[in-house]
Amino acid sequence: MQRLFHFSQDATIQLFVPHLAPTSNETEPFVWAVDEMHAPSYWFPRDCPRVCCWAAGSQFDGNSLLALGGAPRLHALELDWVERFRHCQLYVYEFDSAPFVPKIPDAGYWVARDNIVPLSVEPVGDLLTRHAQAGIELRIVKNLWPLIDAVVASGLEFSIIRKTNAQPRPL
């Protein structure tokens, strides 16, 4: 059985109602969830721009982006977001997976068309500690764009979230 989650800075959600996100290209309202493998990409404040990458199979040994830090997964955020990251109170909701169907399997996204009552809600805890306990290298950079370009070219699995909130691309 697939474990599915939703991350929020609001610990009081009792019912998730399908909706169209303002930035979405979708035409149908959904309740969105993320699977367990992709969940660490959401251990950030909601609007925080970040780049996450990880090795699939044997790529770990040969990829310098990961080999430098020795972790099989790398997350990065911009310096301007460090204080918000450090002080973020984040909560994880767990859902019954039965009403969900895969939407974008490679990204770990699942959707439901009905209202969803969460099974549980728990604080994620200190986000830096959570990354460290999971063995994820956390990198702080002045500007995400050089790393975004390197990750996209690397052949690694990746997720780039809220890049529109990142610093402008350097000239």
Band (60; pLDDT cuts 50, 70, 90): very low
DSSP H or E segment with residue 153: helix 145-154
> Which H or E element spans position 6?
strand 4-8
pLDDT per position as a tens digit, 146-159: 999 999 988 888 99
User: Distance between alpha carbon 79 and the CA centroid of its chain, in Å?
Assistant: 18
DSSP 114: S
Q: Mean pLDDT throughout 81-90? A: 98
Handedness of CA 71, 90, 94, 119 (dihedral sign): positive
Answer with the residue of higher pLDDT: 104 or 35.
35
Residue 106 has pLDDT above 90, yes or no: no
Mean pLDDT, all residues of the chain: 92
Q: 6 vs 18, 41, 67, 130, 149, CA distance in Å?
A: 13, 11, 30, 16, 28
Rg (CA), the chain: 16
* pLDDT tens readout for residues 127-151: 999 999 999 999 999 999 999 999 9
Contact 134, 144 (CB under 8 A): no
Q: How far apart are CA 48 and CA 83, in angstroms?
A: 11
Nearest alpha carbon to residue 112 among 121, 103, 120 = 103
Residues 14-54: pLDDT tens digits? 999 999 987 778 899 999 999 999 999 999 999 999 999 98
pLDDT at residue 68, as a whole number: 65
More confident: 69 or 74: 74
In this prediction the pTM is 0.91
Using an 8 Å Cβ cutoff, are 117 and 15 in contact? Answer: yes
Beta bridge partners of 50: 77, 161
